[in-house]
Amino acid sequence: MFVPDFTRSDVQAATTPEALAHGQGLAIHVADLDWDEYSLWGRLPGQGIGVGELLVHHADRPLTGECPCPDGRAAALCAHIVALASAFLGDDTELADRLAAPSPGEVVALALELADRSAWARQAIWLSLDARGSR
């Protein structure tokens, strides 16, 4: 299964601090989130933005997107596009809480599964473990 490969840093680099803050607040309102190898899409019903109107193009850097709002075609991502990207990435606090719940063995199994799916993740895990071991 293909999963878009972009990070919070990619989103931050493609927008303004104001749009980032506003978009992160709107992320909980994103509906019908889906993606393919080029774009991520969804809708913001409370903003009157439907599916097909709100896109994040994640194949290249910097991230780009499309939105029908007045800022939607600016060089920097608008708050609605940031909301879509943030909804996909999820909330770090919630992720930390959910990672704290399973047993250590379940977390190890999760890390091994991730390492089997991604050479980048495997290398990042090894580098992190090496750095901790050298302290």
Q: Residues 57-66, buried b or exposed e (16+ Cβ, 10 A)?
A: bbeeeebbbb
Report yes or no on whether pTM surpasses 0.85.
Answer: no
Cα torsion at 100, 102, 107, 109 (round to 10°)? Answer: -170
Taking the C-alpha atoms of residue 51 and residue 67, their distance in angstroms, rounded to an integer, is 10
Q: Residue 134: what pLDDT?
A: 57
pLDDT of residue 97: 84
pLDDT in the model for residue 27: 95
What is the pLDDT at residue 33? 95
Terminal Cα distance for the chain, rounded? 37
Residue 135 has pLDDT above 70, yes or no: no
Per-residue DSSP letters for 16-34?
-HHHHHHHHHHGGG-EEEE
How far is it, in rounded angstroms, from Cα 97 to Cα 99?
5
Residue that the structure tokens 């992190």 belong to? 128
Report pLDDT for 48: 94
Q: Quick check: 133 pLDDT over 80?
A: no
The model's pLDDT over 83-131, given as tens digits with 9 standing for 90+, comes to: 999 999 998 888 888 888 889 899 899 889 988 888 888 898 888 888 8
Q: pLDDT tens-digit profile of 21-54? A: 999 999 999 999 999 999 999 999 999 999 989 9
Q: Would the pLDDT of 1 be above 70?
A: no
d(CA 60, CA 19): 20
